[in-house]
Amino acid sequence: MDNLTHSLVGALLGQAGLKRKTGLAMPALIIGANLPDVDAACLFWLEGVGHLGFRRGITHGPPALVLLPLILAGILYGFDRWQAKRGQRRFGRPEGRLPVSFKWLFLLSFIGCLTHPAMDWLNVYGIRLLEPFSSQWFYGDTLFIIDVWLWAIMGFAVWFSLRREKRGKSGRWPAVSAILLSLTYILANWVLTNASFVPYGINQKVVPTAKNGLGPKPFIPTTQMIASPVPFNSFGRELISGQKNRYFVIPVNVVPSPWEARPITNRPCGWPNESELATGGSQSEAFLFWSRAPFAERADDGSVILRDARFYDPLARDRFSVALPKVKCEELPVR
């Protein structure tokens, strides 16, 4: 998920009561909830899509989820000691701060870090939860990467909770209520994702397309089905169906609508062989390691572009693609 969502999760946990455990509890929770994204630093040394093969891996796995909170707790504890030595001088320790406990700083940093992979798992991008012991990707297919409704629920609750505290009232119940409401919202979206498969048969290897009025429904050979959440519309999904290099998209909503499948691209190419893929070097390697629904598309100059069916919208397609300018597209018929 985006870092605003991660930060709001940490803030809600603090407002729910955890911030009373030790001084600097809120920084431990909020920074901890974002800390696994330290792997974003790879953008400084990895070019192109090289980051796809690195991110959401080693810093999101079990060893990092213990080591990162330990480092954060040490930094916060040291910061408190430094402020205490300054006394009444500028940047000295605030008088109202609770005593700082290293044990609680570590536990709260650990809790914050644990919320990060839990939230990241919810979308179609994927996360390698067991890195470095296993590089398997895990997908929740439950929420879009940026969910404005979660922003609204959690953001309002944090604001209202802090507002009540300023008035001398308890800020716990708005935070606890928002946590329960957010969990209910996430569960409802998980149910919707799984319900998206029902009209098409959960265990079917073929998916029916819309009737054309001229005969029986045609079928799409299928090896996987992905229910991809869409922005803003919590009730909508795009059902990505098909097999390697041949994917179709079926819009799915809670409100019944005619079944309608469309090819992911109108310019499909045959899948490149190993030597052709090798011309992309580390870029191809990183892309294919990350890709869940890869396909080849013809570029304007007749060469091949590798894309992923999950990120084919105009805003994302160029950021999740690899060009193979030396490979000539062998055009496939559009079904």
Statement: residue 203 has pLDDT above 50 = no
Token pair 């536990």: residue: 107
Mean pLDDT of the residues in the chain: 88
Q: Mind spelling out the 3-state secondary structure of 184-214? A: HHHHHHHHHHHHCCHHHCCCCCEEECCCCCC
pLDDT tens for residues 229-259?
A: 988 888 888 888 888 888 888 877 755 454 5
Contact partners, residue 202, CB within 8 Å, separation at least 6: none
Distance between CA 51 and CA 60 in Å, rounded? 14
What pLDDT does 334 receive? 78
pLDDT tens-digit map of 270-304: 999 999 999 999 999 999 999 999 999 999 999 99
pLDDT number for residue 304: 95
pLDDT one-digit tens code per residue, 53-76: 999 999 999 999 999 999 999 999
pLDDT at position 254, please?
A: 58
**pLDDT by residue (tens digit) across 115-149?**
999 999 999 999 999 999 999 999 999 999 999 99
| Percentage of the chain lying above the pLDDT 70 cut | 90
Residue 254 main-chain phi, psi, to 5 deg: -60, -40
Q: How much is the pLDDT for 221? A: 57
User: What is the model's pLDDT at position 222?
Assistant: 64
pLDDT tens by residue, 93-105: 888 899 999 999 9
Output 194 or 64, whichever has higher pLDDT. 64
pLDDT in tens, 4-46: 999 999 999 999 999 999 999 999 999 999 999 999 999 889 8
Residue 110 is predicted with a pLDDT of 98
Tokens of 17: 């009561």
- Looking at residue 71, its pLDDT comes to 97
Q: What is the pLDDT of residue 208?
A: 47
Residue 199 has pLDDT above 70, yes or no: no
In this predicted structure, the answer to whether residue 217 has a pLDDT above a threshold of 50 is no
Q: What pLDDT is recorded for position 260?
A: 67
Confidence at residue 242, expressed as pLDDT on a 0 to 100 scale: 83
Q: Is the pLDDT of residue 207 over 60?
A: no
Residues in the chain: 335
